[in-house]
Structures are given as C-alpha cells and as structure tokens.
Amino acid sequence: MKTVSENRCYGGTQGVYSHASTATGGEMTFGLFLPEEAQLGEVPVLWYLSGLTCTHENAMTKAGAQGWCAEQGIALVFPDTSPRGDDVADDEAYDLGKGAGFYVNATQDPWKPHFKMWDYICDELPALLGAEFAVDLERQSITGHSMGGHGALTIAMANPGRFKSVSAFAPIANPTKSDWGRKQLGAYLGADESTWAKHDASLQMRDVGFDGPVLIDQGSADQFLQLLKPETLAEAMAARRQEGLFRMQKGYDHSYFFMSSFMEDHVTFAAEALYA
C-alpha cells in the first residue's frame, strides 16, 4: 500500500492511499478519514459509495462528511467507483465503463477481467483496512449516492449481519427497470436477467430486506427521478415492513448540495446504530 497524501482534518487525518488489487487486477485508490480517536484504538467504520463519473475524491472534497464523522468518532471510507488503468475496458458513454462500475462482478467481455467491484468492496478493501488501520470491522455501516446508493443497499442486504445500518441519497432504486441499470447490468452480467436481481435494491428489499435500520433521502426536484425510480423502493420498504425511513426532500436535486445538506443526518443515523 502506498500513501498518496495525508492531511490534518477535523483533528484527525484525511488520507488517500493506493494499492495493487487482486479483485480488479490493477492499482486502486481510496480515501480514508480517521478521527482523532483512532490514535488510541479501533473506531467504527462508515463506507461511502459514490455515483456515476466519480472517483474516491468527489465525496471526499464535496460532501462535508468528515466534520460530522469527527464528532462521532467514526472512520469514513471513500472507495473508487471502478477499476482504472490503460488496460481497463471503457466506453464513450459516461454511464458505462470507468467511473461506472455499478458495484457488480462482471461476467462478460470486455469487462470481466477488471470490473469486480463487488468483490473489491465486500472482501478485498475491508481486509486491507483491517490490516493497515485502526478500524473496527465488527462495527460497520454503509451509505452512498445514486449508483453508490444502489451499491450500498444491495451490498448491505446481501451481507446480513455485516452492517449495522444502511442509508442512501437518491439511489438508483430499480435498475432492472431503468435505463440506468438495464444497459449496465446487461453489459456486465449478460442477457440472463435472473442474474440481475441481486443488484436491484427494490427487488432485494421485497425479497430479503435489511436486518437493521434504513434511511433514504430523495430530492423532489431531482432531474433524474425517472431513472432512479424511488417510488419502487418506497413501496418495497412498505411491503416488507422494513425498519426505516424514506424522506422526499422538497426542492432538492441530485447534486452534492443535496447530500451536504443532509449529511449530518446520515452520519448521526449510522452512529446511533454503530454505538447501540
């Protein structure tokens, strides 16, 4: 593992690190905020999964989360959204290829050699964090935005007992029925739509739900509402009798202004579960 940068931040440290990844077959970069308490012992972990076109850096510099995590004594992880490198397959469209890994393990060419973001987030990066940093992997929560909200929800529901809570900002809620999903799941996973269901938060909510609290924030003025399909997730949560809260925030769009406005709520929500 290489240290790219480390900066003093809210009494703790905001670091950026890179490492050779077995899952993606190349060099991966991630951000990690460690609060001051990490100097004394292990601290709980909140994962933040970013959306389309993002790297580890977008939320790290725009979401305003570190200050709230410092107040709660929580580490905050910012993974990348896809593999990178000259030998990694890409597409001219912004919503496929680099920056658009969709948190799946690709089974189709040309994506399958590198696009293993499910394994990277679920297995490889947690193991690295546990080995290298003062984090308590027995106390994890997860959140994310848009494509990252999709990833947070599907990963949380597929790994019962791992995360104390899950939350999302404007998640891609029903990708098997959306152009933000059908295109990508078809490309990465192939034409057999039975393999897609694991990566649809609305379908998984109806089928298995989450074994903890859920918080969803969606802006009413989001320019991508037709692609996100939040109503399907809200209906699935109600049908499942899922412990949680779905909030439609009047006038907010899909931007980081929306996320930063409600970040305190999401960090506090995670902290309540992590320290319960």
- H or E element that contains 9: strand 2-9
Report CA 16 to chain centroid distance, whole Å.
Answer: 17
**How many C-beta atoms surround the C-beta of residue 45 within 10 A?**
28
Query: What string of DSSP letters covers 238-268?
Result: HHHT-SEEEEEETT--SSHHHHHHHHHHHHH
Catalytic residue among 80, 200, 217, 222: 222
146 is catalytic: yes
Catalytic residue among 56, 199, 254, 266: 254
Tokens of 19: 């490492």
Catalytic residue among 141, 146, 167, 202: 146
Distance CA 63, CA 146 (A): 13
Q: 193 near 173, Cβ under 8 Å?
A: no
Tokens of 71: 């107040």
136 is catalytic: no
220 is catalytic: no
Half-sphere exposure of 276 (CA within 13 A, CB side): 13
Sheet holding 43-49, edge to edge: 2-9, 12-21, 26-34, 75-78, 43-49, 135-144, 163-169, 214-219, 244-249
What positions carry a catalytic annotation?
A: 146, 222, 254
